[in-house]
Amino acid sequence: MPWTHNRAGPFCPHVSSVVDAPSSNVMSFSMAGAVRARSAGTSSAGAQGASVPFAEDVKAGLSASPKRLLPKYFYDDLGSTLFDAICLLPEYYLTRAEDEILDRHAREIVDAVGSPLDLVELGSGSAIKTRRIISAALESQPTLRYSPIDISPSALNASSEALSREYPNVTVDGIAAEYLEGLKSISRNGSVRTMVLFLGSNIGNFEPHDAVNTLRAVHDVLNDGDALLLGADLKKDRAVLEAAYDDAEGVTAAFNLNILARINRELGGEFDIKKFAHRALYNDALGRVEMHIVSREAQTVRIAGLGMEIHFDRGETIHTESSYKYDRARLADLAGLTGFELTNTWNDTRGMFSSNLLRAIKPLSTDVYHHVGRKRDP
Ligand code: AVJ
């Protein structure tokens, strides 16, 4: 059921280095501070294994009706670089809005959780935003343990090295894994509080039931009083949302279409990119921005590596991403369904984006277990 496991890519990652994944389970390399990178679980995050699920998922997705591709596959080296560029676009307000919030309130956020604390981050590349939290934490504790969880070993290595160079008092313990796997290998540190960072509206890529499952998995590794800092983009005017995902310079279009180029590069696809268009639309009923790739004409495309040919009608679409938008009520519901209490919300001055502090309440009631976690799709 790979389609129910949408995972957001890195949010404003550093440009990935081309360091190969470790083939063993544990890799240590030392920088100024202490950096440890390990891979969790059994799935192949390694160099040779990486394209196997990609091939399988592309095959399944392009054979389905309607056609679809998973957003996690946007983030090869070119896609990650294009995403960095998106974060600089005037239309893409999300990154700046969240950074404004963390710039103004990092101190308050850390104080609300209480120190000393350990930091865990889902995704490793929030760059400047993570640094704001780290700096605030180091004002009230001498050292800090930071465990980023990211599927990309190269992104993990690059950001881990940079961070431990900048902050000698931070021990970076990177985990190369999918979020759910990685969370299982988080080691709790006695009485120290843990704050999990899930920034950048990465939650937006999750279908509602997967958002619930993921937050429950976060809750499972936390103690009473620990916290989750959740960045969620807010529902707003359609024109603003659609412009954010369809910018005037065509960077988001390039980002979306790069997934076809990636199929060409990695799977011997023969997509003529010019024969496809980018489309972004806000689906009001479902509260999400959808990105699609539209076939400009009827055509058949060979993908040699998959031994298949794919037919497209003129105007036929591939659904490549959903970015869910939240409001206060939905966030409170999500917290309540997953064993958390939504205790604080900070907005940017324009009211575009929200940073939400969710406090873990244990135990998760059996009532909650009976009502969530079921797949709602057919
Ligand atoms: C990285 C999932 C937060 O949905 O806003 C940006 C990805 N897609 N422009 C988002 C994205 C198109 C982004 N997230």
DSSP 43-101: S--STTTTHHHHHHHHHHHHHSSSEE--GGGG-SHHHHHHHHHHTTSSS--HHHHHHHH
CATH class of 1-207+224-327: alpha beta
Nearest CA to ligand 1 atom 9: 245
Query: Which pLDDT belongs to residue 2?
Result: 32
| Cβ count within 10 A of residue 100 | 19
Asked if residues 72 and 7 have their Cβ atoms less than 8 Å apart, the reply is yes
Task: State pTM to two decimals.
Answer: 0.85
Asked if residues 147 and 221 have their Cβ atoms less than 8 Å apart, the reply is no
CA distance 106 to 121: 15
Looking only at the bridges linking them, the beta strands covering 317-324 and 67-68 are: parallel
Asked if residues 162 and 88 have their Cβ atoms less than 8 Å apart, the reply is no
Q: For each of the chain's 378 residues, which pLDDT tens digit applies?
A: 333 333 334 444 333 332 333 332 233 333 334 556 666 544 433 333 446 899 999 999 999 999 999 999 999 989 989 999 999 999 999 999 999 999 999 999 999 999 899 999 998 766 789 999 999 999 999 999 999 998 888 888 888 889 989 999 999 999 999 898 999 888 777 779 999 999 999 999 999 999 999 999 999 999 999 999 999 999 999 999 999 999 999 999 999 999 999 999 999 999 999 999 999 999 999 999 999 999 999 999 999 999 999 999 999 999 999 999 999 999 999 999 999 999 999 999 999 999 999 999 977 655 555 555 444 443
From 92, 70, 74, select the one nearest 82 (Cα to Cα).
74
**SS3 for 258?**
helix
Mutate to test the pocket of ligand 1, among 205, 233, 249, 251 (most ligand atoms within 8 A of CB): 205
Asked if residues 196 and 220 have their Cβ atoms less than 8 Å apart, the reply is no
CA distance 289 to 204: 9
Which tokens sit at 34?
A: 């202490």
Question: What residue segments make up the domains of the chain, in order of their start?
Answer: 1-207+224-327
Contact 6 CB / ligand 1 (< 6 Å)? no
Distance from the Cα of residue 25 to its chain's centroid: 23
CA distance 175 to 235: 33
Looking only at the bridges linking them, the beta strands covering 26-28 and 34-39 are: antiparallel
Which tokens sit at 301?
A: 């495309």
Query: Which pLDDT belongs to residue 304?
Result: 98
Query: How far apart, in Å, are the Cα atoms of 39 and each of 146, 151, 177?
Result: 16, 9, 6
Contact 13 CB / ligand 1 (< 6 Å)? no
Contact 86 CB / ligand 1 (< 6 Å)? yes
